[in-house]
Amino acid sequence: MQAFCKIREALLIRKPVLNQEASRAFRMYLDGITSFIFQEDQPEKADIIFVPGGNYPEAAERAAQLYLEGYAPLICPSGKYSRLKGHFELMLSSGERSEETACALDCQTEWEFLSTILIRKGVPGEAILEERQATFTWENAIFSRKVCESRHIKVQRAILCCQNWHARRCLMYYGQQFPETQFFVCPVSTRGITRDNWYLDPEKADVVLSEVERCGAQFHEIVRHYREGKSYCRPDDWKSPFGRG
């Protein structure tokens, strides 16, 4: 943990170290974090595409593309809004409003927003499942599973469309809720963050390193609840400041 804190300090405060100048140990940490966080697969035929919430259009656009290319017959976007904000707020990575996102400005939930994007991109409404309760990622996975169970959908193979820096935690959560499912993570880049540049900018580094911390903090609470015989952690049960999101 001490070593991780030193790496975070170096990335957030000091001038970024160029690849060719990085020490062997520093490069090892960078490569390890990059490989862990930025999970990505080639898409394959699946039973469903999951979109784990969000107030940005890119993941829904990617899901629509994969649907139209015939990779899956169903899409399950999930989300109410961030519990930290308490309301839905549109975020555009590019800072510009497209025709698709402009029509979603009055949406009240992430599900409404994502569904609007999907429909405008050509996905029929009957192919879109509804989940509008989740307020953080763990709930996205839990409630998406409940939606599939209620419709008797057997998910043997699934595609996961999410932000690239959020890919590992999404895969961990959805994999926990669908333990017999094979997942193909097909992420999108948001906030200008990529696996090659995340550590070169303090703001990008903060996003990625905070995600590393959430992976540890949230699963600490999940493991604790399972030891106590609980299968679901209520939002108020999270103790860590990185526990929700």
Question: For 136-185, what is the HEC assignment?
Answer: CHHHHHHHHHHHHHHCCCCCCEEEECCEHHHHHHHHHHHHHHCCCCEEEE
Let me know if residue 126 belongs to a domain.
yes
Give the lowest-confidence range in 21-30, 59-68, 205-214.
21-30
| Residue span of the structural domain in which 123 resides | 48-185
Count of structural domains within the chain: 1
Residue 10 binned pLDDT confidence (cut-offs 50, 70, 90):
low
Of 178, 57, 167, the closest CA to residue 110 belongs to 57
Residue 3 binned pLDDT confidence (cut-offs 50, 70, 90):
low
62 alpha carbon, distance to own chain's centre: 13
Let me know if residue 168 belongs to a domain.
yes
pLDDT at residue 205 greater than cutoff 90:
yes
Of 208, 223, 130, 226, the closest CA to residue 169 belongs to 208
CATH code of residue 109:
3.40.50.620
Give the lowest-confidence range in 5-14, 73-82, 193-202.
5-14
Q: Which one has a higher pLDDT value, 166 or 227? A: 166
Let me know if residue 63 belongs to a domain.
yes
Let me know if residue 119 belongs to a domain.
yes
Reading the block at residue 195, the tokens are 């696996």
Let me know if residue 36 belongs to a domain.
no
Reading the block at residue 244, the tokens are 């929700």
CB 164 within 8 Å of CB 193: yes
pLDDT at residue 241 greater than cutoff 60:
no
Residue 240 binned pLDDT confidence (cut-offs 50, 70, 90):
very low
Let me know if residue 171 belongs to a domain.
yes
Let me know if residue 149 belongs to a domain.
yes
Q: What predicted TM-score, i.e. pTM, was given to this entire model?
A: 0.82
Burial label for 5, CB within 10 Å (0-12, 13-18, 19+), is: exposed
Let me know if residue 83 belongs to a domain.
yes
Of 3-17, 100-114, 194-208, highest mean pLDDT: 194-208
